[in-house]
Chain A
Amino acid sequence: MTDTDKTPLLEVRDLHVEFHTRDGVVKAVNGVNYSVDSGETLAVLGESGSGKSVTAQAVMGILDMPPGKIPQGEILYRGKDMLTMSAEERRKLRGAKIAMIFQDALSSLNPVLTVGYQLGEMFRVHRGMSKKDAKAKSVELMDRVRIPAAKARVDDYPHQFSGGMRQRIMIAMALALEPDLIIADEPTTALDVTVQAQVMDLLAELQRESHMGLILITHDLGVVADVADKIAVMYAGRIVEQAPVHDIYKRPAHPYTRGLLDSIPRLDQKGQELYAIKGLPPNLLHIPAGCAFNPRCPMATDLCRTDVPVLADAGAGRRSACHHWKEQLDA
């Protein structure tokens, strides 16, 4: 194995993102570290305001700046820091090497252009293909994401497709230039369960086929369980726990993860009263001192109210940002 093989496909190091607003500085991301390799799926799990989407936008380079600001951190694509690249270099990576899928497929597609045209645009602009070749490629892509009768539907407009089909078109678009990394931000949240399953399956399959890296951003613990290799749980702009997928569901090493798992009702059995994490998610203008989770944590001690726990090794490939991870593991 040579040195270059050890460089992860994407590595985020100590990333900080803040937003300057009228009411003060919103600290959305406060030192996030994660990495993804080719062929690997990292799920970033968090509730609204946890900073999961902002981190992805920073990686993609689509953060609105201002009001956004990245005061600190590195985003390394194959070892090269994207934050210090020229705008031109960065633009070349976007779409071609790193592609993104959004939650809302309807608003991500232009309603007055046919889907064939929009798919073909990728090839015409980036690859300089002729109109005819681009269209043929579009049909091929639509076949690849299993849109039935692709040849007949290539000239249809976005509104003529159902929600699930539109999300497939978005996936096709992301795949068009054969990127190394796909970032999917809540790709199935807007879809019905039966369609959700189809789209997730498709995404996982395509990823296996082309050996891409996949960052899956979601709030849904169920979706993650199906496809991810490893999971990073975010809270108040930090990763609080990172572990291989099986371990995290069996024995979480952070009380927040434990709380999340316990608070979802089960489909296969009728439960008692649900466990509810007390209190509210933190206000990002005033993140509590020490561990951000301490006001809601059943295990909090004085240490938690003063010292910020770092994301440290908790054995067997898992990392936890909790002073009491040992007790949590044994609980």
Chain B
Amino acid sequence: MPDVLQKNPENTAAAPAAAAPEKARSLWGDAVATLLRSPVFLISGLLILLLLTVAFWPGLFTSMSPYDCDLAHSRQGSAPGHPFGFDVQGCDVYARTLYGAKASVEVGVFVTAGVFLLGGLLGMLAGFFGGWWDSLLSRITDIFFGIPIVLGGLVILSVIKANTVWPVIGFMIAFGWPPIARVARGSVITVKQQDFVQAAKALGAGNGRIMLRHIVPNAVAPVIVVSTIALGTYISLEATLSFLGVGLQPPTVSWGQDISTAAAQYRNAPHMLLWPAGALSLTVLSFIMLGEAVRGALDPKQR
């Protein structure tokens, strides 16, 4: 075997198809370029940016505190300096709507991150190793699919009550991972059968390399899409649980609790319901739109 490779005499295929200048374009790069051209992404992205700013720096938008309440103003409509009016306790609805964003965003982001990691990991292991481990995981996800999540929340969260967001986040991760795991498993199985994975095996690559270098980068896209779309539903689930009284507890400000108290007063003070419910809907919609835009960019077949 010659030790120095000979220079190829007729570099036949080296002649480019057309002399079109072409740069290295990764699939991720293409996806980002597609996203930046998508109006749905730009609109939802802007809304989410605004939401994040409100969630982390509500003080930028109001000098009032959500706890600064005066019963004398109870259920009053909009007044100078208080554009959204007051709630039952006489607190400023504008301030409460702004401060309520924090809980929603926290729950949404942490639950999504949690289910993405937990569901993604379990789904990937099941898809990759198969066998009894896969059967076990599939049956567990079936069990979770059988439990209505709101009912589960009512039972479990009424037992563990705490005044932080963490029990709610923990519960939602525990019940939210199965669908993500299912998507991850399917995606990993598809990628696992492709020839480039076989090629890596044939080169002697170990399981770790095969998973991290070959399977995860190619299988992660659908999991990202499903998680992003789910983020909106987690926010509305938190609101639902808070509305039912088992989610976030005072003094945490949340849209769900405010919607709950406002619902009883809907006839004589509709503004109390309008603002938190509107903010919630817009937030959920933004995340679902974002998810759709990401899907469009990561899955070119849909285009």
Contacts and interface: CB of A to CB of B under 8 A. Distances in A.
Contacts of A163: none
Contacts of B12: 276, 278-279
B17 interface: yes
B18 interface: yes
A278 B18 contact: no
Contacts of B20: 283, 285-286
A259 interface: no
A279 B15 contact: yes
A289 to B, nearest CB: 11
Interface in B5-28: 10, 12-13, 15-20
A8 interface: no
Contacts of A276: 12
A294 B93 CA distance: 74
A68 interface: no
A73 interface: no
A152 interface: no
A288 B18 contact: yes
A295 B18 CA distance: 9
A61 interface: no
A46 to B, nearest CB: 17
Nearest to B30: A22
Interface in B205-252: none
Interface residues on B, range: under 10
Contacts of A282: 17-18
A276 B15 CA distance: 14
Contacts of A285: 18, 20
A107 to B, nearest CB: 15
**Interface of A (DSSP majority class):** loop
A281 interface: yes
Interface residues of A, number: 12
B15 A278 contact: yes
A274 interface: no
Contacts of B18: 282-283, 285-288
A283 B17 CA distance: 6
A280 interface: yes
A279 B20 CA distance: 15
Nearest to A287: B18
Contacts of B16: 280
Contacts of A286: 17-20
A279 B18 CA distance: 10
A278 B19 CA distance: 16
A218 B140 CA distance: 51
Contacts of A280: 13, 15-17
Contacts of B15: 278-280, 295
A270 B12 CA distance: 24
B22 to A, nearest CB: 10
Nearest to B33: A22
* Most-contacted residue by chain A among B10, B15, B17, B19 (CB, 10 A): B17
Interface string B85-124: 0000000000000000000000000000000000000000
Interface string B112-150: 000000000000000000000000000000000000000
Nearest to B16: A280
B186 to A, nearest CB: 20
Interface in A279-328: 279-283, 285-288, 295
B38 to A, nearest CB: 12
Interface string B18-59: 111000000000000000000000000000000000000000
Interface string A252-292: 00000000000000000000000010111111011110000
A67 to B, nearest CB: 10
Contacts of A279: 12-13, 15
Nearest to B34: A22
B216 to A, nearest CB: 28
Contacts of A295: 15
A278 B16 CA distance: 11
A288 B18 CA distance: 7
A288 B20 CA distance: 11
26 contacts: A276-B12, A278-B10, A278-B12, A278-B15, A279-B12, A279-B13, A279-B15, A280-B13, A280-B15, A280-B16, A280-B17, A281-B17, A282-B17, A282-B18, A283-B17, A283-B18, A283-B20, A285-B18, A285-B20, A286-B17, A286-B18, A286-B19, A286-B20, A287-B18, A288-B18, A295-B15
3 smallest CB-CB distances across A and B, nearest first, come from: A286-B18, A283-B17, A283-B18
Interface of B: 10, 12-13, 15-20
Given A282-B18, A283-B17, 17 more contacts: A276-B12, A278-B10, A278-B15, A279-B13, A279-B15, A280-B15, A280-B16, A281-B17, A282-B17, A283-B18, A283-B20, A285-B20, A286-B17, A286-B19, A286-B20, A288-B18, A295-B15
